[in-house]
Amino acid sequence: MVKKRIAVLFSGSGSNLQAILEQVHNKVFNQTHIEVALTICNKPDAYGITRAKNFGIKTIIIENKNFNSREEFDKALVEQIKLNSIDLVVLAGFMRILTPVFTTQIKAINLHPSILPLFKGAHAIDESFHSDMQIGGVSVHWVSEELDGGKLIAQRAFEREKDMSKEAWEKKIHAIEHEILPQSIVKILCEQGF
C-alpha cells in the first residue's frame, strides 16, 4: 500500500475542501491511500476551518497581511508544506497569486471556474456568465508562475440553458468543481511514477 499526503489551501467557505474530505480523505484508490494531512488558510474567519475541524484536521492559519511581500508569505507556506512531507498541494479557492518562491518548489494543482485559457483571474464566474459564450465550465491545472496558466489536467463544460440566471450558472460550476477536483487528485496520485 502506497501512502500519499495532500495539503489543501483555501481562503473561504471550503466547499471544495469538503468535497475532497468526503470523497478522497483516508480512502484507498488502486492500492494508494490518500490522506489530507494539512490544511492552510489565509483568512482566520473562513468557514472552511470548521469543515476541516469536523474531520479532525487542524488548519494552520497563515495570514498574508502579516507579511511584507508575496515572497515572504509564499516562503512561510513552503516551510509548512515541506515540514509536513506533502506529496501534492491542492489550491481549492485559495485567493492568492503565488510567486516563483512557491511555484518552483511545490507540486500544486489549482481549480478554476472557467474553461481555461478563457476568463483567467478572480472574476471568472462573472465574466463567463456575462459573456456571450454558450458554455461554461471548470478547469484543473498545474500551478505555474503564470496566473491560471499552468498545464491543464482536466476540464468539464456545460451548456448555457435558455434564460439561465447567474445563480444557476454559479451552482452548475460548483457542482462540477466538487466532482472534478477530487477525481483529478485521485488520477494524479494513482498514476505510475508520480
User: Annotated binding site for (6R)-10-formyltetrahydrofolate: which residue ranges?
Assistant: 70, 95-98, 110
What cell was used for 20?
475532497
In this structure, are residues 32 and 189 in contact, taking their beta carbons and an 8 Å threshold?
yes
Cis, peptide link before residue 113, omega less than 30° from 0: no
27-29 and 32-41: which strand pairing? antiparallel
Active-site residue among 25, 112, 141, 178? 112
Residues making up the binding site: 14-16, 70, 95-98, 110
Distance CA 194, CA 190 (A): 8
For residue 30, is it left (φ>0), alpha (ψ between -120 and 50) or beta? left
CB atoms within 10 A of CB 129: 20
112 among known catalytic residues: yes
By annotation, the residues acting in catalysis are 112
